[in-house]
Amino acid sequence: MIWAGILMALLVVLYMAQPRFKRFRLSSARFFKEMPVPRERRFRFSVSRPELSRTFWLQLFALLLILIAFLLRHQTYKASAGGEGQGVWVLVDTSASMSTKQGGKARSALVADTIKQAVDEANRSMKRQFRLSLFDMEVREITLPDSSIGAVLNREDDWAPRPLGTDLARLRALPQPEEGFPITHLLVVTDRPAPDWIADVETPRIVWRDLSAPVENVGITAIDGARNPLTGRVSSFRVEVVAARASSSPAALSLAIVGPGGRRVERPFKNWSRRERSFTSEVEISAETPGSYEIELNVDPETSAYTFDDTARIEIPASGELEVDWQLPDRRIPDLLGWKTETERPAFRVAPFGTELNPADAALFVAAGAATKPDAILDFQEAHPLLRDVNLDAVETLSLPAVELTEELRPVLRRDDGKAWLAEGKLVPGRGPRFVLPGLPQLTFDAEDNREAFLLTTFFNATRALLAERPPEPLYTLTTPLQPVPQGTRLVLHPGEGDTTPDARSVGGFDEDEYDLPGEKRPFWPLALAACAVVLAVERSLAAWGGSKWR
What is the contact surface with another protein in residues (CB under 8 A)?
Answer: 19-35, 38-41, 46, 49, 52-53, 547-549, 551
CB of 538 vs another protein, minimal distance in Å: 18
DSSP tag of 37 = P
DSSP 89-115: EEEEE-SGGGG-EETTEEGGGGHHHHH
Q: Which is nearer to another protein, 35 or 360 (CB)?
A: 35
Q: Which residues contact 308 (CB under 8 A, 6 or more apart)?
A: 96, 99, 163, 219, 486, 492, 493, 497, 498
Contact 421, 438 (CB under 8 A): yes
CB of 57 vs another protein, minimal distance in Å: 13
Q: Which is nearer to another protein, 3 or 32 (CB)?
A: 32
Contact 218, 249 (CB under 8 A): no
CB of 56 vs another protein, minimal distance in Å: 9
CB of 543 vs another protein, minimal distance in Å: 13
Contact 166, 492 (CB under 8 A): no
Contact 390, 457 (CB under 8 A): yes
Residue 272 CA from chain centroid, whole number: 35
Query: Would you tell me the crossing angle of helices 2-17 and 54-71 to the nearest 10 degrees?
Result: 150
CB of 37 vs another protein, minimal distance in Å: 9
Contact 19, 52 (CB under 8 A): no
Q: Which is nearer to another protein, 39 or 331 (CB)?
A: 39
3-state secondary structure of 530: helix
CB of 46 vs another protein, minimal distance in Å: 8
Q: Which is nearer to another protein, 74 or 549 (CB)?
A: 549
Amino acid identity for residue 438 in this structure: P
CB of 49 vs another protein, minimal distance in Å: 7
Residue 474 CA from chain centroid, whole number: 16
Q: Which is nearer to another protein, 15 or 61 (CB)?
A: 15
Q: Which is nearer to another protein, 1 or 37 (CB)?
A: 37
Q: Which is nearer to another protein, 39 or 116 (CB)?
A: 39
Amino acid identity for residue 320 in this structure: G
Q: Which is nearer to another protein, 53 or 278 (CB)?
A: 53
Amino acid identity for residue 260 in this structure: P
CB of 20 vs another protein, minimal distance in Å: 7
Contact 524, 203 (CB under 8 A): no
CA distance 457 to 444: 13
Compute how many other C-beta atoms are within 10 angstroms of the C-beta atom of residue 9.
Answer: 10
CB of 539 vs another protein, minimal distance in Å: 16
Contact 522, 76 (CB under 8 A): yes
CA distance 413 to 400: 12
Q: Which is nearer to another protein, 170 or 551 (CB)?
A: 551
